[in-house]
Chain A
Amino acid sequence: MTQADLYTLLPLIVLVIWACALLLVDLLIPRGRKGITAFLAALGLALTLGLTLAQVSAAGTAFQGMVVLDGFARFVNALLALTGLLGVGLAYGYVRRMGIERGEYYTLLLFSVAGMMLMAQAADLIVVFLALELLSIPLYILAAFARPKETSEEAGLKYFLLGAFATGFVVYGIALTFGATGTTSLSGIIAAASNGDAGLLLTIGAALILVGFGFKVAVVPFHMWTPDVYQGAPSAVTAFMAAGAKIAGFAALLRVFGLAFSSLSADLTAILWTLSALTMIVGNILAIAQTNIKRLLAYSSIAHAGYILMAFVPFGNAEVLPVSVAAGVFYLVAYTLTNFGAWAVVIALEKAEGRGLDLDDYAGLGRKYPALAAAMTVFMLSLTGVPPTLGLVGKFYLFRAVIAGGFYGLAVIGVLTSLISAYYYLRVVVIMYMREGEPERVSEPWLNLTWAASALAVVLISLVPAPLFAWASQAVFALF
């Protein structure tokens, strides 16, 4: 182990040590003042973010090729640290209000972010598997954090059982891949696959891994758990889970499929095409019938998994792949900002005992709280893909990449399902402005900052998206 090895994983190591230390420090913080723990957790994440951004010069593999540091990992890690920060910001007031303020919340959140970051850096299937578990297990517990509330316990248990099931698929897939190629390292798999001595076993292994990740990022037909878990889990957890698990899952999918399994594109392109189309169609159509805002956003997150999956469809085409993956990464940024903003508004209006979560509770918001309603309008427009929002820019890049890859049908499905989604997103806007009502909102500094800053970012970045897209492209080109 050299210094270079440690330097490659420096942000992650700092984060894990910080989380362990936080667990101990939390014992000294008296109950009722757990805001200090939240502040310390945020400090740790900010430090991680700073270290990640400072790793500019370093690149290469470490620990015998088990982890890798490149532009892509740096970009995704920065996004994940930001996700963690936003997650802490949303939780700060929410957990106190809901009576679930405990120091473990923040420790588990930090562990989960560590797992996600490891996922983005993993270059060996063993590490991919461990990272997947490290990100999932804290999320299972966070989903059940409001115990003994029944919906929260149900969410945690459901997520745990289906997540364990999905992990089984991943492990079996890894085992078959190992059987086919004799190695778990991604570069070794590439070498073995290009020799042509892998064959059917490798394809089955890759397909099983795809199923496992499909569960994690909620792709149809592996999405069944999503609405119940998103609805039952505390809203601040859902916001963090919806963004973080998706970013990490797609980052790993990209590395594993874009690199290691690129020789399998002939077999897998059609499967990815179908999964992406199905996810967009089913997610958007089921969202129409929802009357609960948390369920609506859950189906919306399923639909968006479909859009992001579009970026992977041209993965056999070496020319289009970098552009389409850059588009996918850009879309992840757009989705993260919009998602956190929308959930911040939901949290601002949520009351104890799960009230204030129906769409009807948003009636009259436009008149009583114009700024909050305007921010929610921005998020709904961004999720639909209407200018001037980041969602539109993200979708534009995605559709352009898919068309460049020659998948016109998928682009058409993407546009049509976006039109369908306009119905239920704009319904929220209509209810906010056109109906009479007396909503009550909660005003907390960090919460207000989250939705206001997200709304501003979603609009402003959409006006000048080129620098961010250039950064994403640069990150991805470093990968190929």
Chain B
Amino acid sequence: MTPLQLVFLLTAALTLVAAFRVVTTRNLVHAALWLVVTLFGVAVLFVLLNAPFLAVVQVVVYIGAIAVLFIFAIMLTRREMRDQGAQLNKGWWAAALVSLLTFGGLFWLTRSWDGFTRTAAPLPTGQDTLSALGKALVSPDAFVLPFEIASVLLLAALVGAVYVAYREK
């Protein structure tokens, strides 16, 4: 076992345990913190896959923005930090069955796929993927139009959110 494999196994195990704790813990703030651990584990997996940019995005967007937003939302809206209801409802076994079947199906499908046993193609070196991505987003020859439309869309959503949330004195 190489050190890389060891790191991978540890990270994967930690990620899975944390993900499991997100849905099982009764304390909402703890659940949000476990979510941060899960997302961080995924970021480490991205690093192991030689995708540093995705790893940074994972940390900045998912942990930095979304998970922190969760924590704020919980603290601002809930007086009770503890979930009072039952963790499972009556349909849990059906959900478990469907999940198990889906997992089994996917497992069976991927067994016949040679992607796992094939040696990966070597990563192209000397390419600056990050700046290529950045240029593609704002280049007139690529995606500048969707990029700008998305900006307008976010502006409209922002104006709307302020209008809906604003309480007049």
Contact = CB atoms under 8 A, between A and B. Distances in A.
Task: Among B155, B156, B163, find the residue whose CB has the most chain A CB atoms closer than 10 A.
Answer: B156
Interface string B125-155: 0000000000000001111111001101101
Contacts of A138: 156, 160
Given A108-B156, A111-B156, A137-B160, A130 B150 contact: yes
Interface stretch (A60-68, A197-205, A228-236, A382-390): A60-68
A118 B164 contact: no
Contacts of A64: 141-142
Given A107-B159, A141-B164, A156-B164, 14 more contacts: A20-B155, A63-B140, A63-B144, A104-B159, A104-B163, A108-B156, A108-B160, A111-B152, A130-B153, A134-B149, A137-B153, A137-B157, A137-B160, A141-B163
Q: 9 closest pairs, A vs B, by CB? A: A1-B140, A141-B160, A111-B156, A130-B149, A63-B145, A134-B153, A104-B163, A137-B157, A126-B146
Contacts of A5: 140
Interface string A41-70: 000000000000000000000011011000
Contacts of A140: 160
* Contact residues of A: prevailing secondary structure: helix
B145 to A, nearest CB: 4
A102 interface: yes
A218 interface: no
Contacts of B163: 102, 104, 141, 145
A114 B163 CA distance: 20
23 contacts: A5-B140, A20-B155, A63-B145, A64-B141, A104-B159, A107-B159, A108-B159, A114-B152, A115-B153, A118-B149, A126-B143, A126-B146, A127-B145, A130-B150, A133-B153, A134-B156, A137-B157, A137-B160, A138-B156, A138-B160, A141-B159, A141-B163, A141-B164
Nearest to A5: B140
Interface in B9-40: none
Contacts of B149: 118, 127, 130-131, 134
Task: Among B142, B157, B160, B163, find the residue whose CB has the most chain A CB atoms closer than 10 A.
Answer: B160
A223 interface: no
Task: Among B144, B149, B155, find the residue whose CB has the most chain A CB atoms closer than 10 A.
Answer: B149
A145 B163 CA distance: 8
A291 B164 CA distance: 31
A111 B163 CA distance: 15
A133 B151 CA distance: 12
A172 B167 CA distance: 37
A67 B160 contact: no
Interface residues of B, number: 18
A23 interface: yes
A66 B146 contact: yes
Nearest to A2: B140
Nearest to B147: A130
Interface in A103-133: 104, 107-108, 111-112, 114-115, 118, 126-127, 130-131, 133
B64 to A, nearest CB: 24
Contacts of A144: 164
Task: Among B150, B155, B164, find the residue whose CB has the most chain A CB atoms closer than 10 A.
Answer: B164
A286 to B, nearest CB: 30
Interface string A136-170: 01101100110100000000100000000000000
Contact of B152 (A16, A63, A141): A16
Contacts of B143: 126
A138 B154 CA distance: 11
Contacts of A63: 140, 144-145
Nearest to A107: B159
Contacts of A141: 159-160, 163-164
B138 to A, nearest CB: 11
Given A104-B163, A144-B164, A137 B146 contact: no
A147 B164 contact: yes
A171 B50 CA distance: 28
Given A1-B140, A133-B153, A23 B159 contact: yes
Contacts of B144: 1, 63
Nearest to A9: B145
A127 B145 CA distance: 8
A137 B156 contact: yes
Nearest to B140: A1
Interface string A83-118: 000000000000000000010100110011011001
Contacts of B150: 130
Contacts of A126: 143, 146
Contacts of A104: 159-160, 163
A68 to B, nearest CB: 12
Contacts of A107: 159
Nearest to B149: A130
B140 A134 contact: no
Interface string B87-99: 0000000000000
Nearest to B145: A63
A63 B143 CA distance: 8
B159 A67 contact: no
B142 to A, nearest CB: 7
Contacts of B142: 64
A67 B140 CA distance: 13
A328 B71 CA distance: 51
Nearest to B159: A104
B147 to A, nearest CB: 10
Contacts of A156: 164
B112 to A, nearest CB: 18
Contacts of B157: 137
Interface in B101-115: none
A399 B141 CA distance: 44
